[in-house]
């Protein structure tokens, strides 16, 4: 929730500059205001028109634009902001910040700052590990700036290692965290929310298991957004590719039965959201020895038994024990609306978020999602959006429901 917060976003040159556009979108969706500043080299990668149009504020580029300078003034620009974010930050701009150079609008604004600065570096792996960059990094950290990333991965130049810009969602989460720490007036303050996430694993034997491809990205994004809105989060997670968000209480589980136990131990709470991909069945007898390959060439047959339905069990709790809002997900591969509606009725939850998880959808492990939202009024299709935006939209809806329950 960034309503009314003004963010001065400095975009410096580099192939990662295009990701700043996604960051602008996320901030705007959360109700924040963005004033972009582009360095001359950033303009090689992103146009001021694109950044300015998305931000709803003309992007500024030139310190010596006297008209604008007299209208705004770079000092005033900084005074007016609640937070300064530099994303991406090149090695060159890091050097300027570290040494107090002020030869363009972006570096002048940084030198005149009186606000917290979040810096998301992005550069070639060798430039990142170079001694001068590491010296400059230490200087900006000593000056109180907050560094987000870079992360390791394949670079545009073909090299591998640290230097990639942190994902826009990660930079956005740092922005939310900053305001969370200092904000008094958060819509979900005092609310306790349970979120399940990730994949359960059902052992076949001590070395093999039955599972699914959930990365935990959607559940993590939801938990991060709720937490930024002030809620206390109980995060019950199975296997995941991403770490849990900062500031949440984490319970790590393996099987569906573990998740069932952890969820029921965590209750009561105000809202429960079931985003985990839970196995409906488990092998009946997971022996303590590895299943051996048989000499007769036949594959072993595995008897399965049903796992408890966690969502259904919570939705069926008596008033007083039941969370005020129980929210399920539905992962479908075909006839999404038809199957999800049947699931919504069967599970007894208040809201259900259905998503297509067929191979071509890229939902499992991907960064975006297309949700069909069910409540007792019917269903509505949300447009494709990032998983962070799904988290925000759901957070807003939960906050307004808790304010004015149906």
Please give the Cα distance from 20 to 9 (Å, whole number): 9
Which residues pair with residue 194 across a beta bridge?
A: 234, 272
Report, in Å, the least distance between residue 361 CB and ligand PMT. 9
CA-angle at 290, arms to 289 and 295, nearest 5°: 115
Sole binder of ligand PMT in the list 159, 265, 280, 285 (CB under 6 A): 280
Which residues pair with residue 197 across a beta bridge?
A: 237
Whole-angstrom CA distances from 320 to 195, 231, 349 are: 19, 20, 16
Choice between 12 and 355, CB closer to ligand PMT: 355
Sole binder of ligand PMT in the list 122, 256, 385, 394 (CB under 6 A): 256
Sole binder of ligand PMT in the list 117, 276, 372, 388 (CB under 6 A): 276
Examine residue 310 and tell whether it contacts ligand PMT (CB under 6 A).
yes
Choice between 8 and 353, CB closer to ligand PMT: 353
User: Quick one: tokens of 305?
Assistant: 């038994």
Choice between 88 and 216, CB closer to ligand PMT: 216
Report, in Å, the least distance between residue 281 CB and ligand PMT. 9
Sole binder of ligand PMT in the list 278, 372, 385, 394 (CB under 6 A): 278
Q: Are 2 and 28 in contact (CB under 8 A)?
A: no
**Subset of residues 92 to 151 that bind ligand PMT, contact rule: CB under 6 A:** none
Choice between 85 and 272, CB closer to ligand PMT: 272
CA-closest candidate to residue 275, choices 141, 390, 152: 390
Examine residue 194 and tell whether it contacts ligand PMT (CB under 6 A).
no
CA-closest candidate to residue 165, choices 21, 331, 369: 21
CA-angle at 19, arms to 129 and 399, nearest 5°: 115
* Interface map 357-386 toward ligand PMT (x if CB under 6 A): x-----xxx---------------------
Catalytic positions: 157
* Ramachandran bin of 327, using left for φ above 0, alpha for ψ from -120 to 50, beta for the remaining angles: beta
Report, in Å, the least distance between residue 146 CB and ligand PMT. 27
Other C-beta atoms within 10 Å of 385: how many? 18
User: Quick one: tokens of 329?
Assistant: 């997900």
Span of 7-15, 116-124, 224-232, 273-281 interacting with ligand PMT by CB under 6 A: 273-281
User: Quick one: tokens of 105?
Assistant: 């609008």
| 3-class DSSP state of 220 | helix
Choice between 60 and 331, CB closer to ligand PMT: 331
Report, in Å, the least distance between residue 136 CB and ligand PMT. 36
Please give the Cα distance from 247 to 224 (Å, whole number): 9
* Interface map 317-346 toward ligand PMT (x if CB under 6 A): -----------xxxx-----------x---
| 3-class DSSP state of 22 | helix
**Subset of residues 212 to 231 that bind ligand PMT, contact rule: CB under 6 A:** 214-218
Q: Is the peptide bond before 181 cis (omega within 30 degrees of 0)?
A: no
Choice between 46 and 276, CB closer to ligand PMT: 276
Examine residue 244 and tell whether it contacts ligand PMT (CB under 6 A).
no
User: Which residues of the shown chain bind ligand PMT in the complex (CB under 6 A)?
Assistant: 196, 214-218, 256, 274-278, 280, 307, 309-311, 328-331, 343, 355, 357, 363-365, 387
């Amino acid at each position: 929730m960034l309503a009314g917060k003004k963010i001065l976003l400095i975009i410096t040159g580099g192939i990662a500059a295009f990701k700043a556009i996604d960051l602008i979108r996320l901030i705007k969706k959360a109700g924040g205001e963005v004033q972009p500043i582009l360095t001359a080299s950033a303009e090689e990668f992103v146009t001021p028109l694109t950044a300015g149009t998305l931000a709803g504020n003309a992007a500024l580029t030139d310190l010596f634009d006297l008209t604008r300078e007299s209208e705004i003034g770079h000092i005033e620009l900084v005074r007016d902001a609640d937070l300064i974010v530099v994303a991406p930050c090149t090695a060159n701009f890091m050097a300027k910040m570290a040494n107090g150079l002020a030869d363009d609008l972006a570096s002048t604004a940084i030198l005149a700052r009186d606000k917290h600065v979040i810096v998301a570096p992005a550069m070639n792996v060798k430039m990142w590990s170079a001694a001068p960059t590491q010296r400059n990094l230490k200087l900006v950290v000593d000056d109180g700036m907050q560094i987000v990333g870079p992360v390791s991965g394949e670079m545009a130049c073909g090299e591998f290692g640290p230097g990639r810009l942190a994902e826009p969602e990660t930079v956005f989460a740092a922005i939310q965290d900053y305001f969370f720490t200092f904000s008094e007036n958060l819509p979900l303050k005092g609310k306790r929310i349970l979120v399940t996430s990730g994949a359960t694993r059902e052992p076949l034997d001590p070395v093999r298991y039955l599972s699914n491809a959930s990365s935990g990205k959607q559940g993590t994004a939801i938990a991060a957004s709720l937490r930024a809105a002030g809620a206390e989060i109980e995060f019950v997670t199975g296997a995941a590719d991403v770490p849990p968000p900062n500031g949440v209480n984490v319970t790590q589980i393996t099987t569906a039965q573990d998740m069932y136990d952890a969820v029921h131990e965590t209750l009561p709470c105000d809202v429960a959201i079931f985003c985990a991909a839970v196995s409906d069945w488990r092998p009946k007898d997971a022996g303590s020895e590895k299943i051996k390959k048989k000499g007769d060439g036949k594959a072993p047959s595995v008897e399965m038994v049903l796992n408890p339905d966690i969502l259904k069990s919570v939705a069926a709790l008596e008033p007083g024990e039941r969370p005020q809002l129980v929210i399920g997900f539905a992962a479908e591969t075909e006839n999404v609306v038809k199957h999800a509606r049947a699931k919504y009725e069967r599970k007894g939850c208040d809201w259900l978020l259905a998503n297509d998880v067929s191979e071509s959808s890229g939902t499992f492990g991907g960064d975006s999602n297309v949700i069909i939202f069910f409540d007792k009024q019917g269903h509505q299709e949300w447009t494709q959006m990032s998983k962070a935006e799904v988290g925000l939209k759901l957070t807003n809806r939960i906050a307004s429901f808790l304010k004015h329950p149906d």
